[in-house]
Amino acid sequence: MSRYPAPTREHHDDFCVAEKWMLVRGSAGKPVRHHRTYELTLGSGSVLRTRISKPIDRSTYGPSMWSHILRDQLSVSADEFWACVDRGVLPARGVVEASAEMLPLHLMNELVTRAGLQPDAAILLTRAEALERLRQYWMDEGSGR
């Protein structure tokens, strides 16, 4: 016997809402009519997509279908799913937390696109070093070098 309740469409929807998946709209800008369709863009740039048949109710999923949804659509384990639905604990999706030492994206972009640094080299700079590199770049640009 499973330690979790039978998964329902309502649980599936609760998970998507809790993790802030985006509701997909049709070409007319309205929600898709025959399924509720959600997408989640991960930090890696990949996109997860899941569909919940309407009506969103307490209809349960069979074990095979549920396994497919967890693995292929939601990309979580049963433990992660139920922790999110029951306690609001979001799944660990490999998100890198920004730290005070990290360079802002706009600064990284300037270093790579304007100053010509390789991303691997730019990411190793401190904020002060990055600003000095850009200052030097703009000084050289202004003098016509």
Model confidence pLDDT, tens digit, residues 36-78: 999 998 877 789 999 998 888 999 999 999 999 999 999 999 9
Model confidence pLDDT, tens digit, residues 104-134: 888 999 999 999 999 888 888 888 999 999 9
Contact 103, 127 (CB under 8 A): yes
Show the domain range for 119.
105-142
How do strand 35-41 and strand 47-53 relate by DSSP bridges? Answer: antiparallel
Question: Residues 42, 80: one domain?
Answer: yes
Domain count, the chain: 2
Comparing CA positions, the residue from 36, 6, 42, 41 lying closest to residue 23 is 36
Cut 0.75: pTM above it: no
Would 3 be classed as within a structural domain?
A: no
Question: Residues 38, 81: one domain?
Answer: yes
Q: How many angstroms separate the Cα of 81 from the Cα of each of 21, 66, 100, 134? A: 14, 11, 31, 45
What's the rounded mean pLDDT across residues 86-103? 78
Question: Residues 81, 33: one domain?
Answer: yes
Would 94 be classed as within a structural domain?
A: no
